[in-house]
Structure 1
């Protein structure tokens, strides 16, 4: 991408809970708890939207017991969309700083969904930790159509 938009106008359009599951039989009190994190990105060319998906899987002794995947779908202003779009390659390349920002918003959204879905249960003790997104996203993100 030769040119990068200096200022990207965007708005949160929709929040989705892609997955949510509590697998009580897989939870083992006092077991080894771990957290797996995944990120995903998508684009809707017709509506000029970028979607960010975060998946968190809490495991006890390597068995998943709490799963959440949340998505945030962002409308992108026309001028910024056109600057990021590569019609020839049928792709969109978003600057790393912008993708990081949208990812932080999506992780925070997942954190809120997790709290709401587990409120007043014993699983409410499992919180999403702070995540340094800059360590994960170190380059611009290209989404192919």
Structure 2
């Protein structure tokens, strides 16, 4: 399955917050907490890819962003993913959707932090292939 027809349908910003009390601008060290998740809408042949990022200092989040992208999948291909009990989607394709979502999150982060002291925090490149290690399976 080398070619999967899909279309980016919608971008959602679910969370965005600065927590000024948790940020110490004298401390240059910070951690990045990353979470990628997926969901499906079988009735519309659609996949949702979500990314939540937290920038943290001293185990406290000071910048939080969560973005999702909704993708329509070619209904003919969707049938190839499904059987009576499950929807199973190849890991390489899911990783590709996650890469698009991470890139979108990076753009939203830049836009939301523009002209603030938090604009220096750029979402680094992430090896999404390491995060999506197996085909993603959903029960119907």
Q: What TM-score, normalized by structure 1, do the two folds share?
A: 0.91
How big is the shift at 1:77? Answer: 0.5
Secondary structure of the 1:79 match is: helix
Residue 19 in structure 1 maps to residue 8 in structure 2:
no
Task: Find the counterpart in structure 1 of residue 38 from structure 2.
Answer: 41
Aligned pair count reads 139
How big is the shift at 1:143? Answer: 2.3
Structure 2: stretches of 5+ with no match in the other structure: none
Secondary structure of the 1:74 match is: strand
Task: Find the counterpart in structure 2 of residue 94 from structure 1.
Answer: 89
Task: Find the counterpart in structure 2 of residue 52 from structure 1.
Answer: 49
Task: Find the counterpart in structure 2 of residue 7 from structure 1.
Answer: 3
- Distance in 2 separating the partners of 1:100 and 1:46: 22
How big is the shift at 1:129? Answer: 0.6
- Please list the CA deviations of residues 55-87 of structure 1 after superposition, one character each: whole Å capped at 9, or x if unmatched: 000001111110001100000001110010122
Question: Residues 96-135 of structure 1 correspond to what in structure 2 (within 5 A)?
Answer: 96-135=91-130
Residue 74 in structure 1 maps to residue 62 in structure 2:
no
Moved over 3 A (4+): none
> What root-mean-square deviation, in Å, do the aligned CA atoms of Structure 1 and Structure 2 show?
1.1
Q: What TM-score, normalized by structure 2, do the two folds share?
A: 0.94
How big is the shift at 1:134? Answer: 1.3
Secondary structure of the 1:131 match is: coil
- Please list the CA deviations of residues 9-28 of structure 1 after superposition, one character each: whole Å capped at 9, or x if unmatched: 10000000011111111111
Secondary structure of the 1:138 match is: coil
Task: Find the counterpart in structure 2 of residue 143 from structure 1.
Answer: 138
- Distance in 1 separating the partners of 2:19 and 2:139: 34
How big is the shift at 1:6? Answer: 3.8
